[in-house]
Amino acid sequence: MQTKAKKLSSLLGKEFEKLLKGQPDPRISRLAIDSRRVVPGSLFFALSGLKSDGNSFVDEAISRGAVAVISSQARRFRSAKVAYLTVDNPRLVLAAVSRAFYDHPDKDLSLVGITGTNGKTTVAYLVKQILANLGQRYGCLGTVGYDLVRRTVPSFRTTPESHDLCGLLSQMRDFECRGAVMEVSSHGIDQFRVSGLGFEVGAFLNLTRDHLDYHQDMESYYAVKRRFFNGESGPLPKVAVVNIDDPYGKRLVSEIPEQVAILTFGETEGAAFRASEIELSSEGSEFRFTTPLGDFAVKTSLVGDYNVSNTLAALTICSGLGLNIENCIEDLDSFPGIPGRMQKVEAGQAATVLVDYAHTEDALQNALSMLQGVTVGKLRVVFGCGGNRDRGKRPAMTKVANTLADEAWATSDNPRNEQVEDIFADMKEGLVDPERVHFVPDRRRAIELALEASHAGDCLLIAGKGHESFQEYGETVVPFDDRKVAIELIENMRLGGRG
């Protein structure tokens, strides 16, 4: 897709156009935040990041052909060809310029934004699947990948940077999509990636401990999520879908402006869209679904109480889009599931082996609690904690694994720039019964040991990476897919006469 070059003044709009006074007004053919991706005709945004500062690469960007630079740092710069603009918040300007550069794609698409600590991917996939079953063409952007309907590209961020996001939305528009279902991360909100976009529906799922290395505390984490619903990040969503089983969701309902229509869901009495008479099994879930338009029987192939909540969220979102609930329910029991979300590994082994993305205390607790109820034999888990992230959740995750699983293997999970042994030291503070937790630095070896210990009737959960196909060591990314590794190890065990 080739975007037509536009004058810088037309992209800035009236709010920032005055900054061009006395400076060149070049034609912009590309937006870039990485100097290595600059080509002649680019507008380069010098953004300050956690790892590097884009202001250090301004000269490189210009040498590669940037014709304009936007930065928060003033510098003496005069050129007959290059415009240099100093603004208070380059990310906010990037969001506004991106929408203008791609001709405001959100105005032509119905946008659904889903935020929350856990469940975003499942709910997004469910909503997209329901819409597809009803013949409605919606793209889907999130952790697992970017589905543009006519093509799918790998995901590089849960919520892309605003220029990439608007570019993807523009492609969906070109592909004649009616709308897009998006996962909206707290980073995406805080860094203005979704700023200015108009959402038909915004959904809040839950808030549990995660990303506190970035947000510092839960109140700050919640305050960022709230911005998506109270107009601080752009236009108010027309409809807010909120889980009132979650204490932060209950609070959010009272803090959303009155002009936003609010649809609540949950198992809580008083929820507009409510699940009751829930029956869980290893094959899926069934429940009574009470709505303002009547009661319905719902059957889904997704396993676990938390997936009842995810299903409720998806159906409530669809109601917020004006769809007929009865039609939305019809094919839920045939939903194929999501890569890396309670995904079964089938390689002829006797035990049940599952791979899941659970990488927070709450997600791991939900996963193991659910599996306890459907496992006949022993429940085992392989898990880890990421490096250069919130250290406080490490002992909490270990306590959950040690308490709910019969046996656990703690191992590496994207150690990044930390030593695995240092991560283990934090994790060991959460031990309840040290005899039942094995610390194995090599993730492949940990999975192998757990598989060797698992027999018919047992269940092994390999948690933390889910759909991811890599491990991060320092600045290096190494291929590693829990699903493929598990299959390979099982096949090796069978060849060796084990399993």
- Out of 101, 136, 161, a domain closes at 101
Write the Ramachandran bin of 47: left for phi over 0, alpha for psi from -120 to 50, otherwise beta: beta
What is the 8-class DSSP label of residue 271?
A: -
428 and 394 part of one domain: yes
Closest listed residue to residue 161, CA positions, set 181, 139, 179, 141: 141
Whether 463 and 381 have beta carbons less than 8 Å apart is answered as yes
Are 347 and 263 contained in the same domain?
A: no
CATH classification of the domain holding 437: 3.90.190.20
pLDDT of residue 156: 76
Per the structure, the count of domains in the chain is 3
Q: Is residue 16 part of a domain?
A: yes
Residue 1 resides in a domain: no
Q: What is the CATH number of the domain that holds 67?
A: 3.40.1390.10
- The per-residue pLDDT for 211 is 65
Q: Which residue ranges of the chain lie beneath pLDDT 70?
A: 1-2, 50, 77-78, 209-215, 496-499
pLDDT score for 21: 81
Residues 247 and 112 in one domain: yes
Residues 50 and 199 in one domain: no
Q: Are residue 451 and residue 377 in the same domain, yes or no? A: yes
Could you tell me the CA-to-CA distances from 19 to 10, 16, 28 in Å, in that order? Answer: 12, 6, 16
Residue 140 and residue 194 in one domain: yes
Do 222 and 266 fall within a single domain? yes
User: 231 and 165 in one domain?
Assistant: yes
pLDDT for 413 equals 96
- C-alpha 71: how far from chain center: 28
Which pLDDT does position 270 carry in this prediction? Answer: 94
Domain end marker among 79, 101, 123 = 101
Say yes or no: 97 and 110 in one domain.
Answer: no
The answer to whether position 165 is within a domain reads yes
Domain carrying residue 83: 6-101
- Count of other CB atoms within 10 angstroms of residue 52: 11
pLDDT in tens, 161-215: 999 999 999 999 999 999 999 999 999 999 999 999 999 999 999 998 666 666 6
The CATH number covering residue 204 comes to 3.40.1190.10
pTM assigned to the model:
0.82
Q: Is residue 182 part of a domain?
A: yes
Q: Are strands 379-385 and 284-291 parallel, antiparallel or unpaired?
A: unpaired
Instruction: For residue 362, tell me if it sits in a domain.
Output: yes
The pLDDT of residue 497 is: 62
Residues 310 and 413 in one domain: no
Looking at the structure, do residues 262 and 356 belong to the same domain, yes or no? no
Q: Is 355 among the domain residues?
A: yes
Q: Which of 85, 101, 117 is the last residue of a domain?
A: 101
Q: What is the dihedral of CA 332, 159, 172, 199, to 10 degrees?
A: 80
Q: 296 and 153 in one domain? A: yes
